[in-house]
Amino acid sequence: MPDHDFAELAARVAAMASVPAAELTPGTPISDLALDSMTTVEMVVGLQEDYDIILSRDDFTGVRTLGDLAALIWSRLPGATEELSRG
């Protein structure tokens, strides 16, 4: 994962999922958050707004953990392709 702040993402997800951020790790399965479909949509929209990115349903095909979600978000941030090519 690039040098982005997972703790910041965890805090945002925790607020939307009503769970303590300290309990969230990159390995936390998203299914463990027990989000209903409306909360999931609200979380995705909120993350898109927070990070100024666009995510589609297809983007989530391989997203199983919060680490996967973080990697997806980081890959969409401005300059992400430059970071990956330097990687």
> If you classify domain 6-86 with CATH, what class do you get?
mainly alpha
Q: Which two tokens stand for residue 41?
A: 């949509």
For 78, the 3-state DSSP assignment is: coil
- What is the pTM for the complete model shown? 0.84
Return per-residue pLDDT of the chain as tens, 87 residues.
444 789 999 999 999 999 999 999 999 999 999 999 999 999 999 999 999 999 998 999 999 999 999 999 999 998 776 544 555
For 29, the 3-state DSSP assignment is: strand
For 3, the 3-state DSSP assignment is: coil
Domain parsing of the chain, residue ranges: 6-86
- Please give the pLDDT value at position 2: 44
